[in-house]
Amino acid sequence: MALKDDIKSKVKAILDERLVVTDVTYVPKLDDPKLTFGNTGLKFTGSSLFIDIRGSTSVLNTHNKPVVAKLHMAFFHTIVKIANSLEGNVRSFNGDSSLIFFQGNLKATLSTAVKCAMQIKYMIDNSEDGINELLKKYSKLNFGIGIDHGNILCTKVGVGGNHNRDIFWIGNPVNKSTVLGDNSKAPNHIAISSYVYSNLLDWAKYGTKKNYWGQDEKVDMWTKGTFIYNGKYEDFYTTSWHWKV
């Protein structure tokens, strides 16, 4: 069959067949037998954490390629180790960004996603105890993190073979976490949706700091703002706080 006919035949089958969606209680992997190149999808509920490096073009044009590679390796090693320690699921690497999923529909789930973001901030942004102390002879890494929560659908895309396939993640939590990450600005490296903020456990919402009289005072760690999502203004919350590792 000619290439053109082969492509059109497969696309017609994709469009004509019903997508069979199965609810699961885990974050799927590429080799999940329930994910096929037929019209199948898996849906789970969880928190989506998006993170990317800011100013990567500047970094690329400041250093040679081996140094840029090492900076990215250090960045992704840090976030993967922290995510794994909190039972997060690192799935997508796309250039200088990544997606981390926390499966579950409890307040503890999205609060853990926030803790992950705060620990990543601590390790990357802390000038004395984080990795930027090791990277200071190169470039300080700037970054943004966004978090949202809800239903996420994934399908397998591409064709058979080890190097021609991947998982495509679909849903507002994925899209919104990306937009929120783009709206987080240093030193407020972390941005969360209003849904996440409203459902945080107290330990992820409040911190303590010294007041005028030197006493510990309970304070909200988050600052309210607005951003545009899907053509509408929505509330979101940012923070400059971190969580020690």
Tell me what the pLDDT averaged over the chain comes to.
Answer: 90
Tell me what pLDDT residue 196 has: 98
Per-residue model confidence (pLDDT) at position 71: 82
Rank 63-67, 116-120, 185-189 by mean pLDDT and report only the highest.
116-120
**pTM, 2 dp:** 0.93
Residue range 29-70, pLDDT digits in tens: 988 999 888 889 999 999 999 999 886 666 656 767 787 788
Q: Phi and psi (nearest 5°) for 92?
A: -110, 125
The helix/strand/coil state of 58 is helix
Judge whether 50 and 67 are in contact, CB under 8 Å: no
pLDDT for 207-241, tens place per residue? 998 887 878 889 999 999 999 999 999 999 999 99
| DSSP classification of residue 19 | P
Q: For the domain 17-27+34-239, what is the CATH superfamily, name and number?
A: Nucleotide cyclase, GGDEF domain (3.30.70.1230)
Please give the structure tokens belonging to residue 202. 């107290």
Sign of CA dihedral 228, 229, 233, 236: negative
Q: How confident is the model at residue 125 (pLDDT cuts 50, 70, 90)?
A: confident
User: If you average pLDDT over residues 76-105, what whole number do you get?
Assistant: 93
**What does the domain layout of the chain look like in residue ranges?**
17-27+34-239
The residue to which tokens 């990306």 are assigned: 178
Task: Give the contacts of 178 (CB within 8 A, at least 6 positions apart).
Answer: 50, 146
pLDDT exceeds cutoff 90 at 79: yes
Q: Higher confidence at residue 54 or residue 155?
A: 155
**pLDDT recorded at residue 111:** 98
Compute the CA torsion angle 200, 178, 182, 187 (nearest 10 deg). Answer: 30
Query: Do the bridges between strand 216-220 and strand 223-229 make them parallel or antiparallel, or are there none, so unpaired?
Result: unpaired
pLDDT given for residue 63 in this prediction = 67
CA distance 147 to 102: 10
Instruction: Classify 245 as helix, strand or coil.
Output: coil
Find the length of the chain: 245
Structure token pair of residue 41 = 């999808």
- Per-residue pLDDT band at 74 (split at 50, 70, 90): confident
pLDDT score of 242 = 94
